[in-house]
Amino acid sequence: PTFLKVKANALENPFYVGVAVKAHQLTEGSAYDEVLKNEFSSITAEYEMKMNPISTGSGSYNWEAADKIVNYGNDNGINVHGHALVWHNAVPDWLSNFSGTDTEFALEVKKFITDVVTRYAGKVRSWDVVNEAVDDNGNMRNTIFLQKMGPDYIKDCYQWARDAANTAGDTDLLLFYNDYATSTNIPKQDRVFSIVDDLKANNLIDGVGFQMHNTYLSPTKAQIETDINRAVALGLKVHVSELDIQVNQNNDITYLTEERALAQKEKYKEIVKIYNALPKANKYALTVWGFKDNESWIPYSTDLNHPGNDWPLLYNDKFELKKAHTGFLEGL
Ligand code: XIL
């Protein structure tokens, strides 16, 4: 078989092929370990490098899972993308219930960002500093960070990340802004790019992460290109950061039919082609959000309105290659 990273590495303008991982998968000799080393050249922690699992209290941390993921990448020559320092869905209880002043709250956020970026300086190539700061109406999402720190919180977080990296001697750390549904939701896209523009004007951002939790019907090629090209126009790197492609968003099938499998294959191929056509300077990584269909977050997500079956990834439950995998290869 041809492996994804082998083909991606051989391109004229190569890029990383990434996968979201969980620490328990990274045991030498496991099926995940084998597939990962064959196929992928970058990893993102699916949740274990978010604030919630790491930050156990003010200035106290549980680094176990995060260390395991970072060390695995470093030991095996696999790129490590950090995800995510600030996200409204991963705020630890102690910080959600914080009773100090707003200034003290901001200092806690600063301390967290500084300590995490410092610990992994030189080991993590890039960080999503702020994740999903825009809501689906195109407004600034009304998070605890916005409420307590005001609209400049985004800039502050990027500045703190940059300062921590520079102080630790990592002047090459790439800082990303990451969000979802920007290709189809134009008010949201506009708001995201006003944030990104502003960060860029302050020299605080290196790239944009487009999550791409897509379906086999949407977004279209043109929608994706328009969205991504806004990052290219700003001279920023593009990370397709959480790719998966739903085939049962309307809950109308009970198993992965041949027809849907083929449609999904074409959609994987389309997005890989779009990514591959980017100029060299704008390429970074295209990351799929997990290994196997039965372990994907999609069927379990309460935000997505089809809490049933779906088959959004490249491998089936038995770790066999799907047509989607062939589509990915054909896009390279
Ligand atoms: C999801 C993970 O897949 C789940 O395992 C976790 O419980 C919740 O988060 N946008 C993001 C990701 O930026 O971090 C989310 O990942 C999916 C949506």
DSSP calls for 120-160: TTTT-SEEEEEE--B-TTSSBP--HHHHHH-TTHHHHHHHH
Q: Report the nearest-CA residue for atom 16 of ligand 1.
A: 46
pLDDT at 177 over 70: yes
Question: How much is the pLDDT for 309?
Answer: 87
What is the per-residue pLDDT for 238?
99
CATH class of 4-331: alpha beta
| pLDDT tens per residue, range 155-171 | 999 999 999 999 999 99
Please say whether the dihedral angle defined by the alpha carbons of residues 146, 148, 152 and 157, taken in this order, is positive or negative. Answer: negative
Q: What pLDDT is attached to residue 300?
A: 84
Q: Which atom of ligand 1 is nearest to the CA of 22?
A: 5
Ligand 1: residue of 50, 69, 89 to mutate (most ligand atoms within 8 A of CB) is 89
Average pLDDT, the chain: 97
Whole-number Å distance, alpha carbon 200 to ligand 1 midpoint, is 26
Q: Does residue 287 line the site of ligand 1, with CB under 6 A? A: no
Q: Please, are residues 120 and 63 in contact by the beta-carbon 8 Å criterion?
A: no
Burial of residue 253 (number of CB atoms within 10 Å: 0-12, 13-18, 19+):
middle
Classify residue 295 by its DSSP letter: G
State yes or no: pLDDT of 307 exceeds 60: no
Tokens 């492996």 — which residue?
A: 3
Ligand 1 atom with the smallest distance to the CA of 241 is 13
The answer to whether the Cα torsion of 330, 16, 77, 69 is positive or negative is negative
Ligand 1 centroid to 33 CA: how many Å? 21
* Ligand 1 atom nearest 128 alpha carbon: 13
Report ipTM (2 d.p.): 0.99
Q: Do 83 and 241 touch, CB atoms closer than 8 A?
A: yes
Q: Across residues 77-90, what is the average pLDDT?
A: 98
Domain residues of the chain, as ranges? 4-331
Residues marked as catalytic: 132, 242
- How does pLDDT run across 214-231, given as a tens digit for each residue? 999 999 999 999 999 999
Q: Would you place residue 305 in the very low, low, confident or very high pLDDT band (cuts 50, 70, 90)?
A: low
Would you call 80 helix, strand, or coil by DSSP? strand
Cβ contact 235:301 at 8 Å:
no
Q: Is the pLDDT of residue 246 over 90?
A: yes
Is 42's C-beta closer than 6 angstroms to any atom of ligand 1? no
Q: What is the pLDDT of residue 253?
A: 93
Atom of ligand 1 nearest to the CA of 83: 14
**Predicted local confidence at residue 303, as pLDDT:** 73
92 to 85, 109, 140: CA distances (angstroms): 12, 11, 21
Q: Which residue, judged by its Cα, is nearest atom 7 of ligand 1?
A: 47
At position 326, the amino acid (one-letter code) is T
Specify the 3-state DSSP secondary structure of 220. Answer: coil
* Residue that has been written with the tokens 């604030």 in this structure: 51
According to the model, what pLDDT value does residue 302 have? Answer: 75
